[in-house]
Amino acid sequence: MKTKFTILNDPTARNHAYMMSKWAIDIEYACPKCGKDRVVTWLFPDQDMLYEDECCNQIVHFEGFRDEGN
């Protein structure tokens, strides 16, 4: 199941992440289990990102998208 997210910073506010990927963005989402606000940097948002969230050890899955803006 895909995890809903909202974009916080595009591009990312983290210089280190931006140096690794100029496409990096910061996103905010709710923990699938407890609903707590979570923030993560997504280095390659044109590709899906899937990992185990350390908040409640739930798998989160963000669906990659293309930014058609530029």
- Residue 7 or 56 with smaller CB distance to Zn ion: 56
Smallest gap from residue 46 Cβ to Zn ion (A): 27
Residues of span 9-68 touching Zn ion by CB under 5 A: 31, 33-34, 36, 55-56
Dihedral of the alpha carbons of 14, 16, 22, 24, in degrees to the nearest 10: -50
With 0-12 / 13-18 / 19 or more C-beta atoms within 10 angstroms meaning exposed / middle / buried, residue 51 is exposed
Smallest gap from residue 59 Cβ to Zn ion (A): 12
Footprint of Zn ion on this chain (CB under 5 A)?
31, 33-34, 36, 55-56
